[in-house]
Structure 1
Amino acid sequence: MEVETARKYFCQSQVVDHYAQAANRVGLWVSEEKIFTRLFNWDDSLLELGCGAGRIAIGLWEIGYRRITAVDYSREMVAEARRINEGFEYGVFFHHGDATRLKYEDETYEGAIFGFNGLMQIPGRENRRRAMREIHRVLVPGSWFVFTTHDRDSHWRKSFWREQKQLWNEGRQHPDLEMFGDLYYEAPEGGMMFIHTPTCEEIREDLKAAGFRVEADTLRHQIANEPPVVRDFADECRFWVAQKPGHAPGP
Structure 2
Amino acid sequence: MQNNNFDIYNLPMAGKNYMKTGLYPAEQKIVDKYFKHDGAHILDIGCGTGRTTAYFSRFDNKIIAIDYSESMIRMARERFPELNFMVADARRMPFENADFDIAFFSFNGIDYIYPKRERLEAIVEIWRVLKPGGLFVYSSHNRFRLPIGRTRLKSYMKNLARGTLFSEYSMDFCEYGPLLTYWGSIWSEKIDLKKSGFKFLDFFGNKYSSSISISLLESYTYYVFRK
1:165 Cα deviation after fit: 6.2
Q: CA–CA distance in 2 between the matches of 1:65 and 1:72?
A: 22
Letter in 1 for 2:55: G
- Percent of aligned positions that are identical: 25
In the alignment of these two chains, the number of paired residues is: 214
1:115 Cα deviation after fit? 1.7
TM-aligned CA deviation for residue 206 of structure 1 = 1.3
Q: CA deviation at 1:205?
A: 1.8
Q: Distance in 2 between matches of 1:65 and 1:198?
A: 34
1:66 CA displacement: 2.9
What is the alpha-carbon distance in structure 2 between the residues aligned to residue 28 and residue 65 of structure 1? 17
Cα shift readout 1:25-65 (whole Å, capped 9, x = no counterpart): x4222331231232122110000111000101111113x14
Q: Deviations over 1:187-231 (max 9, x none)?
A: 21x2232211112222122101211011112222136xxxxxxxx
**TM-score with structure 1 length normalisation?**
0.76
* AA of the residue aligned to 1:193: L
Cα pair 1:110 1:139 within 8 Å, conserved = yes
1:11-36 CA-to-partner distances (Å, cap 9, x unmatched) read 001111221x21xxx42223312312
TM-score by length of 2: 0.84
Of Structure 1 and Structure 2, which has the larger fraction of its residues in strand?
Answer: 2
- 1:195 aligned onto 2:178: no
Quote the RMSD (CA, aligned, Å): 2.6
Q: Which residue of 2 aligns with 1:230?
A: none
* Aligned CA distance change for structure 1 residues 14 and 164 (closer, same or farther; 3 Å): closer
Q: 2:112 aligns with which of 121, 126, 147?
A: 121
Identify, as 1 or 2, the structure richer in helix. Answer: 1
Cα–Cα, structure 1 residues 83 and 101, in superposed 2: closer, same or farther, change >3 Å? same
Match of 1:61 in 2: 57
* 1:243 paired residue number: 226
1:75 to 70, 74, 77: 70
Q: Paired residue for 2:139?
A: 148
Q: 1:75 to 1:240 in 2, by over 3 A?
A: same
Separation in 2, partners of 1:79, 1:10: 12
Report deviation, 1:75. Answer: 0.7
Change (3 A) 1:166 1:76: closer
Q: Is residue 27 from structure 1 mapped to residue 22 from structure 2 by the alignment? A: yes
Instruction: State which structure, 1 or 2, has the greater radius of gyration over its C-alpha atoms.
Output: 1
In structure 2, the gaps of 5 or more residues are: 210-217
The counterpart of 1:37, out of the listed 1, 12, 32, is 32
